[in-house]
């Protein structure tokens, strides 16, 4: 291994070199304090099992996984870039001609996951990597399928979620996820809509000073309008984002493909 490049909440991420191919890879190693935590180990194993089934330029797959002396690990492609959250911190809100193409890419990657029967359930800027492509701008890559859920849950996932704890990040969780209801693709659409709102304005559509207040706002409050947060944005873009974060899942886009097509129509107006 060459160097530690980050922390993934439950794990350290190292940059390493594959001895056979010579290429750089990222190795995600569960923190030593969690190696005795069955739930943490099961979640890391689940991330590997899910991501190894995915193969798309806008999704970070898994090359291999295993256990070295009681330390579970994943091996992933090494992505040269920065997280979307870091980009937002450094540069603030993005103009539509930059933000909309990134959102479209995320729609493509998440549609691929949904087609495989996999929901992400924890989409947020920290879980999106921006990889610079020579002469083509940034490629958005969805990371961290640690909370991913298949359309038909197996007994392992039932054990992981049977504690009654709501899993996810409050600022990006759909109302049905907060309520612990059954989820489908429309929950990820809600999260991507919130992410898009923040990407375009630097603000969240539902605000609260605590996690509890934020979740309550998702359940009972009305979102801030996009152009209330940034007056220079178009009415058509406001309508697209508003539909993606509708309280009732039936009023949202019904697939990431449909969401992406709506973003494409807005992009074509400029």
Domain boundary among 49, 77, 105: 77
Instruction: Express each pLDDT in 27-39 by its tens digit.
Output: 888 766 666 667 7
Mean pLDDT, the chain, whole residue set: 84
Give the global pTM: 0.84
Number of domains the chain is built from? 2
Domain boundary among 51, 77, 103: 77
Convert 136-203 into a string of H (helix), E (strand) and C (coil): CEEEEEECCCCCCEECCCCHHHHHHCCCCCCCCCHHHCCHHHHCCCCCCHHHHHHHHHHHHHHHHHCC
95 is written with which tokens? 């103009």
Instruction: Express each pLDDT in 166-192 by its tens digit.
Output: 456 889 999 999 999 999 999 999 999
Domain residue limits at 232: 81-269
Domain boundary among 60, 77, 94: 77
In total, the chain counts a number of residues equal to 270
Examine the residue annotation and report whether 122 is marked as an active-site residue of this protein: yes
Residue 7 is predicted with a pLDDT of 45
Same domain, residue pair 48 and 110: no
Of 18, 67, 122, 184, the active-site residue reads: 122
pLDDT along the chain (270 residues), means of 10: 49 84 84 66 73 88 80 84 94 96 97 92 93 88 72 40 54 93 95 97 92 89 92 96 96 98 84
CATH number assigned to the domain comprising residue 34: 3.30.200.20
Q: How far is CA 44 from CA 1, 32, 167, 213, in A?
A: 20, 13, 15, 30
Same domain, residue pair 21 and 97: no
216 is written with which tokens? 């309550």
Euclidean distance between CA atoms 103 and 30, whole angstroms: 30
């Amino acid at each position: 291994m060459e160097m530690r490049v980050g922390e993934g909440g439950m794990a350290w991420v190292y940059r390493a070199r594959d001895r056979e191919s010579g290429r750089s890879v990222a190795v995600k190693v569960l923190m030593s304090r969690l190696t005795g935590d069955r739930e943490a180990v099961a979640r890391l194993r689940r991330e590997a099992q899910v991501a190894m089934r995915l193969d798309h330029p806008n999704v970070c797959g898994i090359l291999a996984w295993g256990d070295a002396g009681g330390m579970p690990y994943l091996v992933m492609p090494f992505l040269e870039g920065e997280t979307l959250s870091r980009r937002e911190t450094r540069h603030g809100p993005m103009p539509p001609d930059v933000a909309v193409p990134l959102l479209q890419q995320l729609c493509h990657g998440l549609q691929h996951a949904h087609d495989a029967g996999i929901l992400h359930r924890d989409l947020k800027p920290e879980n999106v990597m921006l990889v610079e492509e020579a002469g083509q701008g940034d490629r958005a890559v969805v990371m961290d399928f640690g909370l991913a859920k298949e359309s038909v849950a197996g007994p392992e996932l039932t054990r992981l979620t049977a504690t009654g704890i709501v899993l996810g990040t409050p600022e990006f969780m759909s109302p049905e996820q907060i309520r612990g209801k059954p989820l489908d693709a429309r929950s990820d659409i809600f999260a991507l809509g919130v992410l898009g709102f923040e990407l375009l304005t630097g603000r969240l559509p539902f605000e609260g000073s605590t996690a509890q207040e934020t979740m309550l706002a998702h359940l009972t409050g009305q979102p801030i309008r996009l152009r209330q947060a940034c007056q220079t944005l178009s009415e058509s873009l406001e309508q697209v984002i508003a539909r993606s974060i509708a309280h009732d899942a039936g009023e949202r886009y019904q697939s990431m493909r449909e969401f992406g097509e709506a973003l494409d129509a807005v992009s074509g107006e400029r």
